[in-house]
Structure 1
Amino acid sequence: MVCSGCIRNVIVQAGHIGQSAVRSVRLRAIYRSLNANIGLRYTWNRQFRSSVKMMVDTAKGEPIINVLPEKEDDGGYASGGWKGHGGSRAAEFLKEHLFENLMKHPEFMTNTKLAISETYQQTDMNFLDAERDTYRDDGSTASTAVLVGNHLYVANVGDSRAVISKAGKAIPLSEDHKPNRSDERKRIENAGGVVMWAGTWRVGGVLAMSRAFGNRMLKQYVVAEPEIQDQEVDEELELLVLASDGLWDVVPNEDAIALARTEEEPEAGARKLTETAFTRGSADNITCIVVRFHHEKVDPDPPNMEQA
Structure 2
Amino acid sequence: MLCNSFLRSVSLRAGNIARYTELRHLSYIWRGLNAPQCLTYLWDCKSTITRKMMVDSGATAKGGPVIDILPEKDDDGGYASGGWKSEDGRLSCGYSSFRGKRASMEDFYDTKTSKVDGQTVCLFGIFDGHGGSRAAEYLKEHLFENLMKRPEFITNTKLAISETYQQTDRDFLESEKDTFRDDGSTASTAVLVGNHLYVANVGDSRTIISKAGKAIPLSEDHKPNRSDERKRIENAGGVVMWAGTWRVGGVLAMSRAFGNRMLKQFVVAEPEIQDQEIDQELELLVLASDGLWDVVPNEDAISVAQTEDEPEAAARKLTETAFTRGSADNITCIVVKFHHDKRKPEETHQTFIENSEETQQTFEVNTEETQQTFKENTEGIQQTSKANPGETSKYCKSNPEESQQS
Equivalent residue, structure 2, for 1:48: 91
Code of the aligned partner of 2:276: Q
Q: CA deviation at 1:272?
A: 1.2
Code of the aligned partner of 2:284: L
**Residue of structure 1 aligned with 2:106, choices 46, 59, 62:** 62
| Structure-to-structure mapping, 1:1-308, within 5 angstroms | 9-18=78-87, 25=88, 47-56=90-99, 59=103, 62-72=106-116, 73-296=118-341
Q: CA deviation at 1:56?
A: 2.6
Structure 1 contact 61–85 (Cα < 8 Å) conserved: no
Larger fraction in helix:
2
Q: C-alpha distance in 1, partners of 2:286/2:313?
A: 13
Instruction: Render the CA deviation track for 1:269-289: whole Å, top value 9, x for unaligned.
Output: 111111111111111111111
Code of the aligned partner of 2:327: S
Runs of 4+ residues deviating >6 angstroms: 299-307
The residue matched to 1:234 in structure 2 has which SS? coil
Structure 1 contact 240–292 (Cα < 8 Å) conserved: yes
Q: C-alpha distance in 2, partners of 1:67/1:280?
A: 27
Q: C-alpha distance in 1, partners of 2:254/2:288?
A: 15
The residue matched to 1:188 in structure 2 has which SS? helix
Code of the aligned partner of 1:85: H
Instruction: Render the CA deviation track for 1:148-202: whole Å, top value 9, x for unaligned.
Output: 0101111110000011000000000000000001110001001100000000000
Structure 2 contact 308–314 (Cα < 8 Å) conserved: yes
Structure 1 contact 71–103 (Cα < 8 Å) conserved: no
Give unpaired runs (5+ residues) of structure 1. 1-6, 19-24, 26-45
Q: C-alpha distance in 1, partners of 2:104/2:264?
A: 20
Larger fraction in strand:
1
Q: C-alpha distance in 2, partners of 1:277/1:293?
A: 24
Instruction: Render the CA deviation track for 1:21-47: whole Å, top value 9, x for unaligned.
Output: xxxx3xxxxxxxxxxxxxxxxxxxx52
Q: CA deviation at 1:297?
A: 5.7
The residue matched to 2:215 in structure 1 has which SS? strand
The residue matched to 1:109 in structure 2 has which SS? coil
Q: CA deviation at 1:8?
A: 5.1
The residue matched to 2:80 in structure 1 has which SS? coil
**TM-score by structure 2 length?**
0.64
The percentage of aligned residue pairs carrying the same residue is: 73
The residue matched to 1:133 in structure 2 has which SS? coil
Q: C-alpha distance in 2, partners of 1:217/1:279?
A: 36
Q: CA deviation at 1:61?
A: 5.2
Give unpaired runs (5+ residues) of structure 2. 1-75, 362-406
More displaced 10-residue stretch of structure 1: 292-301 or 60-69: 292-301
Code of the aligned partner of 1:52: Y
Code of the aligned partner of 1:56: R
Q: C-alpha distance in 2, partners of 1:149/1:268?
A: 26
The residue matched to 2:114 in structure 1 has which SS? coil
Q: C-alpha distance in 2, partners of 1:71/1:16?
A: 15
Higher relative contact order (CA 8 A, sep 6+): 1
**TM-score by structure 1 length?**
0.84
The residue matched to 2:253 in structure 1 has which SS? coil
Q: CA RMSD in A?
A: 2.1
